[in-house]
Structure 1
Amino acid sequence: MIIGILNQKGGVGKTTLSINLAAAFAIAGQRVLVVDADPQGSSLTWSSARAAETAPLFPVIGMAKPTLHRDLPEIAKDYDITIIDGAPRVSELGRAAILASDLILIPVQPSPFDVWATEDIVGLIKEARQFKEGLKAVFAVNRKIVNTAIGRDVLDAFTDESFPVLKSQVCQRVVYAESAAQGLTVIEVAPAGEAAREVKALAKELLRYDNQERKAA
């Protein structure tokens, strides 16, 4: 399965979700690959920050090119799950990442600004479904402020007949930045912490959703 983590709005935590979800899948026994499709190369930078003596949980490769949808399937076939850390903004790279994916995860912060900013990515995914009928997409709440009810009403605006909102939510926590600075994930730094629990729950829900959709197809 190829999961594209995409949103045309910057700063929603695509790279953070990409590497931490990859860790959750890898620790659960999946063969995982992360593809950095953003010219900024954030996932590659994270990977290079990892200490040489620390064994990687998964490989990270750079493929920020508009032929991604044609080139990636041959590479991805050797892995159970491939995660694409996508580029912001509507572009050839964004379209290629969508077409390369089986499932699009759209991270959004519980803010009206994020609601408004999803219009472009939603349009691109619906456009791509004309060429890739089985393409699935979901919203996931990321960077929710801990112990607040902010955004509860805003989330209703994300309800779409073909774009469900996952129940699992990831909160804003300092451990994400602290672990990233070391080239690590929250599951490695604080395996029993709330951040690790949230990421694992999101990973499990993504797999359940994909399995349900496959059975319904």
Structure 2
Amino acid sequence: MIIIVGSNKGGSGKTTTATNLAVALTSKGSEVVLVDADPQRSAARWHQDREEAGHKPSITLLEKRDNISQSIRTLDEKFDYVIVDVAGRNSREMITGAAVADMIIAPHQASQLDLDTLAELQEQTIRIRDLNPELKVLIYHAMASTNPSVKETERKEFLEYVSQFAEFQPLESISFYRKAYKDVIPLGQSVMEYGNEQAINEINALINEVFE
């Protein structure tokens, strides 16, 4: 299965989502490859830190650029899951990857700047489905507020906005804004290994909803 983790907005939690999925699925016994297709190389640097620290399980990471469709097709024959971290814009890697992918997981914050990019993503999805009609596009509410006085309203407004786009399926799973997600990146770790039970439950909920 090929999973593109991407959107047209930077800073929405794409690398965080991709690396946590890679560790969680590998820990469950799946054969996983994490593909860094972003010129900023955030996932690659995370992987280097992980390797140097000797964290287990080991994660397979490859870097690919430009037209990645054939590369990830080939990887799909060897691995259970191919998780592709793409740049936060309308990149060649995102378009060519999505043309052969099973799904896009698109993390978005509940901010107008993030949600405004959904119109562009819908246009891309319509064009890509001419080549890949079975592509699923799952909108993942990331970095959600933990403030009890606003989180229900924020979630309601997020779902109302996403509902305007017929091409997308909003996920029930949510990742909240937690310091643990930031703390683990320079350590080369996942929240699954960090002991934050709330964050662990969020990643498990995402896996259960999307893959199980």
Report if TM-score (shorter chain) is over 0.5.
yes
SS at match of 1:205: helix
- Looking at structure 2, the residues matched to 169 and 116 of structure 1 have their Cα atoms a distance apart, in angstroms, of 19
- Contact 1:8–1:88 (8 Å) recurs in 2: yes
Work out which of the residue numbers 197, 200, 208 in structure 2 matches 1:196: 200
Residue 47, structure 1, aligned to residue 47, structure 2: yes
Q: Hey, what does 2:19 align to over in structure 1?
A: 19
Q: Quick one: percent identity of the two aligned structures?
A: 28
- Identify the residue that residue 181 of structure 2 maps to in structure 1: 176
Deviation of 1:71 (Å): 1.9
Shift of 1:204: 1.1
Match of 1:60 in 2: 61
Does the 8 Å CA contact 2:105/2:140 hold for their aligned counterparts? yes
Identify the residue that residue 104 of structure 1 maps to in structure 2: 104
> What is the match of residue 205 of structure 1?
209
SS at the partner of 1:143? Answer: strand
User: Which residue pairs with 2:71 in the alignment?
Assistant: 71
Q: TM-score, normalised by structure 1?
A: 0.89
Structure 2 stretches lacking a partner, 5+ long: none
* Pairwise CA RMSD: 1.5
Q: Secondary structure at the match of 2:173?
A: coil
Number of aligned pairs? 206
Unaligned runs of 5+ in 1: 209-217
Distance 1:64 1:195 in 2: 31
How far off is 1:25 after superposition?
A: 1.3
- 1:157 aligns with 161
2: distance between equivalents of 1:3 and 1:84?
A: 6
How far did residue 157 of structure 1 move? 0.9
Is 2:138 the counterpart of 1:138?
yes
Larger deviation, residues 131-140 vs 22-31: 22-31
Separation in 2 of the partners of 1:144 and 1:158? 15
What letter is aligned with 1:200?
N
Task: Supply the distance in 2 between the matched residues of 1:114 and 1:33 (Cα, whole angstroms).
Answer: 28
CA deviations 1:178-217 (Å, max 9, x no partner) are 1111101000111x61001101101110114xxxxxxxxx
Give the secondary-structure state (helix, strand or coil) at the position aligned to 1:181: helix
TM-score normalized by the length of structure 2: 0.91
Range that drifts further, 70-79 or 39-48: 70-79
Aligned pairs for 1:72-87 (under 5 A) are 72-87=72-87
Q: Deviations over 1:87-109 (max 9, x none)?
A: 12213222112113110111110
More divergent stretch after superposition (198-207 vs 94-103) = 94-103
Cα shift readout 1:116-142 (whole Å, capped 9, x = no counterpart): 112212211110100111111110100
What is the CA distance between 1:57 and its match in structure 2?
Answer: 3.6
Deviation at 1:52, TM superposition (A): 4.1
Work out whether residues 33 and 59 of structure 1, in 8 Å CA contact, stay in contact via their aligned partners in 2.
Answer: yes
